[in-house]
Structures are given as C-alpha cells and as structure tokens.
Amino acid sequence: MSGSLVPGASDGHPLPPLSVLVVDDMPAIREMLKRMLLKLGVQGEIQEAGDGLEAWEILQKQPYDLVVCDINMPRLNGLELLRRLRAHPRYETTPFLMITGEVSEDIVAASAESEVDDYLLKPFRLETLNHRLKTILARHRQPSPGESLFRKAKKLLAQGNPEAALKILERLSSPPYPLQAKVFNLMGKCFQALGSLGEAAVCFDQALELNPKYLKAYLNLAKVMESQGNLSAARRYLEEVNQLSPPNRERLFQLGRLCLREGLVEQARKYLTQACCHDLQLNHPKEAQEVARLFLEAGLEDLAAQVLTEALAQSPREISLYLQLAQVFRLQKKIEEAQDICLRGLAVDPHNHHLHFELGLLWFDLGEKDKAREAISHALKLWPHFPEARDFFEKNFVPPEEVSP
C-alpha cells in the first residue's frame, strides 16, 4: 500500500495492527489526527484521551503501541505524561510523538530528559506525520546494534545485575561505537548500584562533557552529592537543571527538601510554592502526606491543608489523612474545622484511638476539660498502652491507671 504508515507494508511484509493513543485537549485536533492515521493505513485501535491524566488512566488498563500527544494540556500535560510512561517498565520504550506549537530550547531539553522519540510542530501536513511515525517506529522495531546492546544493559541493571550491564557498556564506550552521553550516564547508575559513588560521579561528569545539556546526568550527580552529604552541591546541580529545562513538580519538591535540610527555609518556601503552580496530581495518600509534611516544615500550613483536603476528597476512607489534616488545622488554631475532620474520620472508623486522642486535645484547647477527659479516656480504653495519651492524661488529669479497662 503506497504511502502506508506501517514500515514494511509497501514491500510485501506488513506488520501486525498498530494501536494508537491520541492525546489532546481539543476534540477537533483529536479527530483530525484520527483521520490522518486512518489515511496512513493504521489498522488497529485508535483511542482518544482529552488530557494526560485521562490518557494515564487508559494506559493503566490497556497498553498501546504508539502515543501521539500534545504538550500543553490541563490537569496533566504531555511532558508529565511522558515522564510517567518512562518510569513504568511497560512503557519505558513505547514510541511517543510529541505535538507542540513551538520547539524551543526549553521544550527540547525537557523532552530529551524524558526520552521523547520525536516532535511534530503545528501546523503539520499528512506527509510530515507519515515521515515522523515511520522513522520512530522503524527505530523502535529495528534498533541499531549499539542501541540493542544499550537496551540489554539497561534491562540487566533493572534486573539487579549491574556488573553484567557494565561489561556491555564498556564495549559501547569504545570503537566502533560512537561516544554517547546516555552510555556513560547508565555506567554511572551501575556504579551507583554497586555503591561506588566516586566512579559514578566520574561517569556522570563524562556524560556532561559529551552533552552539557544531558539533564539526567545532572540529576544523577545531585543524587550522588546528596548521598555523600554534600547538600549544597546537590542543590546546585538541580538548580542547573532548572536553568536548562522548565521546572517540574518533583524537582521543585526535591529542591525544597534539600533547602530545608540546609536550613534555607526562605528558599525552600520559594521552591515549594512554585511546585504548587503545577498540577500536583498526587497519586497516593502517602505521597500527599509527605508533601504536606514538607509544607509544614517550611511554614506553609495553608498549602499543607490544601494538599491534604484534596487527597481526602480522593481517598475518603484513608484515616491517616483525617488525622494529619486535623493536626494541621489545630496548628492553625482552626479548632472547629479540626473537630469536624476528627468527627468525619470517626464516622469512617469509630474505634480509631488516634482520632479520639486528637479530638480530646482539641477539646482541651477550647477549655472543655470534661469533654477532653472523656475523649482521651476513650482513646486509652481502645489502646491502654497509647504512650502520648497516657502521658497527657497523667499530666493534666488523674493517673491513667484509673481509666484503664
């Protein structure tokens, strides 16, 4: 079939049907891409998603052979979706074509960091789409000998065999193979896995000599420096990445955490506040709680409360979220809101001793000592060896033995 998208289809060697996920927040663009793909001979399923988050949910249920994705979308943009895919074993090599209105240095650096396969600049013609897809699919299905070896080394490292991976990478760092930043970067990760941080740092430095904009090497150097206790160097490497690529949420949180460990509270507040300008999309209650703890440590109680409130809306049966949110409200002197959260949590789990104790502390702050005593007594009946409750009761009421069952 002349002009077919599928490599090999025109020379009598058709490939299996190709499933494609098209991601764009504009229905007209999705429909146009779908029509183009059909014209180019795609015979498999073509699924649509309105943004990165919807696409991610679809990909959790069903894998696709190719993702064609816009870069600017609400909730979860194309770069964030690509980062999630590359961090998932199933999708770390899935062909990904990014559609963008411009190819700036920032976009190139950020996409390279997440290993995009190619770009498509709007507006584009059918022939351009055909050429891009043929190229990335051929590269994916028929990798060069060097790329095949690199993938094998990467797989060996993922399987916990860095020694075997290093043997392959040493071959790739010598003729006839060209010197590549990604090879030295992966060598550094192998040395990291072996605990040889000095040799890892040397490899990451070599990667940056070959490609001064290779962001993964900066990120890995930051990890090495942090492991060695050199927090200021780790922070400088991350700040260098922010100069080369638009800041993302994870990097801003990491910078905020490092600043807090260095005692640079104002800088931590700046980075953590910037992180909130991104769609947080925290996927697990524990992740939300960790972020909230960072905000609290930086004195950003309002942001901590916001994160926990949103997490609770997503996970209304997660008792630890009720407890942490109530504690944040108590810290803010928002006693009524804290009490309401405790009562909502107790409606989910009436026998949670931590929530009964927190409710008792709130009553105590209001001067309602009888109600405080009742709530803390109930917490001790639920768990007689509850140390914080016993200490508080002994200090402010009668000895805790009197309320033990």
More confident residue, 197 or 100: 197
| Block residue for tokens 């992740």 | 287
- pLDDT-derived band at 3, boundaries 50, 70, 90: very low
pLDDT > 80? residue 248: no
Helix (H) or strand (E) holding 243: helix 231-244
Which pLDDT tens digit goes with each residue over 106-121?
A: 555 555 555 677 888 8
Average pLDDT over residues 88-94: 80
For residues 67-78, give the mean pLDDT. Answer: 87
Q: Locate 178 and state its tokens.
A: 């060209």
Check residues 257 and 284 and name the one with the higher pLDDT. 257
Q: Which residues contact 101 (CB under 8 A, 6 or more apart)?
A: 71, 72, 121, 122
What is the C-alpha to C-alpha distance for residues 285 and 356, in angstroms, rounded to an integer? 21
pLDDT at 288: 82
pLDDT, tens digit (0-9, with 9 covering 90-100), for 226-243: 999 999 999 999 999 888
Which pTM value belongs to this model?
Answer: 0.67
Question: Quick check: 11 pLDDT over 50?
Answer: no
pLDDT digits (tens, 9 = 90+) for 278-297: 555 555 788 788 888 888 88
Lowest mean pLDDT among 43-52, 68-77, 96-105: 96-105
pLDDT band for 16, please (50, 70, 90 cuts).
very low
Rounded mean pLDDT of 170-176?
93
pLDDT of residue 292: 87
Q: Which tokens go with 98? A: 């990014």
* 168: its two tokens: 């392959």
At residue 12 the predicted structure's pLDDT band, cuts being 50, 70 and 90, is very low
Identify the band that residue 319 occupies on the pLDDT scale cut at 50, 70 and 90: very high
Q: Which of 228, 230, 274 is nearest to 250 (CA)?
A: 274
Strand order in the sheet with 118-121: 46-49, 20-23, 66-70, 96-100, 118-121
Q: pLDDT tens, 178-204?
A: 898 889 999 999 999 999 999 999 999
- Give the pLDDT score at 41: 85
| pLDDT in the model for residue 278 | 57
Would you put residue 52 in left (φ > 0), alpha (ψ -120 to 50) or beta? alpha
pLDDT over 90 at 316, yes or no = yes
Residue 15: the pLDDT is 38
Rounded to whole angstroms, how far apart are CA atoms 323 and 352? 10
The DSSP secondary-structure symbol of 351 reads T
Give me the domains of the chain, ranges plus CATH numbers: 9-142 (3.40.50.2300), 353-405 (no CATH)
Q: Give me the residues paired with residue 131 across strands.
A: none
The 3-state DSSP class for residue 335 equals helix
Kindly tell me if the per-residue pLDDT of 2 is higher than 50: no
Residue 400 has pLDDT above 70, yes or no: no
